[in-house]
Amino acid sequence: MVYAGRVRVRGTCHVYQAIDLGFAIDLAHADRILAADQIQRNFKKPRRAPEAQQLQRHSSRVSQSGFPVEIGNFRTDGPVEIVIWEFGAATINYQIPIDAELHELVTLSDLLWDNADLLRDARTRAQQLLNAIGPAVDKPLLGDRIEDYVVFELRLLDARPVSELWTTHAATTASILRAEPGPLSDQEIADALSMQCAYVRDEVVLIDWFAALLVGDDMEDERLVLELTIAELLELRNLDEQLDRGVDEAYTVLTRKRSWLASFSTRAADLSQVSQLQADAAVLFEGVDNALKLLGDQYLARLYRVASERFHLPQWDTAIERKLKVLDGIYEKLSSRAASNRFEMLEIIIIVLIAVSTVAPFLPSMLPPGAAP
């Protein structure tokens, strides 16, 4: 790859590993168990927003001691920060100090793609955390999937304008965002740089599906929005998989062949199974969607929309809503069958009672002479 000039950057690379711990987490209970100092984070940039409180975060933070992990010419440093989300996820944040040429981040990004050392360490930390706060977790189960994401929080040195990232150095920036050391096509470069957001002239947020570049003096607010969006993506993908399995199971229940008498004993259990899946999915879906409330800060709300679009969250929402409707349809069919069976049973009972009442008056005449009536 040919690099157009040299750009020196300084800052921190945040490597996020999001993993599911269970259905939901009682944060107050978890905090009491951990008995650790919580790092309180609030949006702190002064902006002319109509409301002072822009965020409801439904999360708790703890710090753990870290050990250096070598990643090419870079290495992790400092504590490992873990965010525990009320909707059952945890986000583990590794920090890598950056003081390098812009093009060197292409190699770093490539090495961070599915980095085995960080993935292994994140799973170990998540399991230890789950073991510790297990009593505070509803349906505790460590997830199989880890959603990783890289956020470069940087400053351009030598007073360079941030616009150089998508003009003069567009190819390098796109390679960083795509973790692609080889040359990209013009279409890929344009697509990688298409999701931009900025509040003032000398800063920018470039968001892609593997990495984001946050360039400015203080980009913590923007990073917190991305942090939640990563956890939200993880939970939506997990929920989508659960609903796939749930729809298959519900359809199996619906099409299962049973004898007429056996159906009465199992229909209630079938309805309970499907309704429980509906309730769990709906509660988790609502919890994830409501975790972020940016009511007063239009810029952060716009940033969240941009990140959501890049991560395809609206499409995930649509798919999940469609599958919830499928479950609703299956539940209605099962309920209709159960009602139909009850009516059939009532009809049979009524017919039997009518038959008995009709035959009863003739029973004495049918007894043999001398038999007791």
Enumerate the domain spans of the chain: 8-220, 230-359
Burial class (CB in 10 A: 0-12, 13-18, 19+), 110: middle
pLDDT reported for residue 233: 92
Give the span between the Cα atoms of 339 and 345, in whole angstroms: 10
| The pLDDT of residue 96 is above 80 | yes
- Helix, strand and coil percent figures for the chain, each rounded to 5: 50, 20, 30
Mean pLDDT of all residues belonging to the chain: 82
| The pLDDT of residue 103 is above 90 | yes
Place of tokens 């960083």: 176
pLDDT reported for residue 51: 41
169 in Cβ contact with 5 (< 8 Å): yes
Does the pTM surpass 0.75? The reply is yes
Distances (CA, A) of 265 to 115, 249, 269, 333: 52, 19, 8, 17
| The pLDDT of residue 271 is above 70 | no
Tens-place pLDDT, residues 7-65: 899 999 999 999 999 988 998 899 888 875 555 555 555 555 444 344 445 788 888 88
Q: Which two tokens stand for residue 177?
A: 């965002």
Q: Residues 6 or more apart from 354 whose CB is under 8 A from it?
A: none
Tens-place pLDDT, residues 155-195: 998 878 999 999 999 999 999 999 999 999 999 999 999 99
pLDDT reported for residue 54: 43
Cα dihedral 36→63→292→27 (10° resolution): -30
Q: How confident is the model at residue 240 (pLDDT cuts 50, 70, 90)?
A: confident
Q: Roughly what angle, to the nearest 10 degrees, separates helices 170-178 and 104-112? A: 20
Give the span between the Cα atoms of 255 and 243, in whole angstroms: 18
Host H or E run for residue 38: none
Tens-place pLDDT, residues 136-151: 999 899 999 999 999 9
Question: Residue 142 — left, alpha, or beta (φ > 0 → left; ψ -120 to 50 → alpha)?
Answer: beta
% of the chain residues with pLDDT over 70: 76
**Average pLDDT for 297-305:** 86
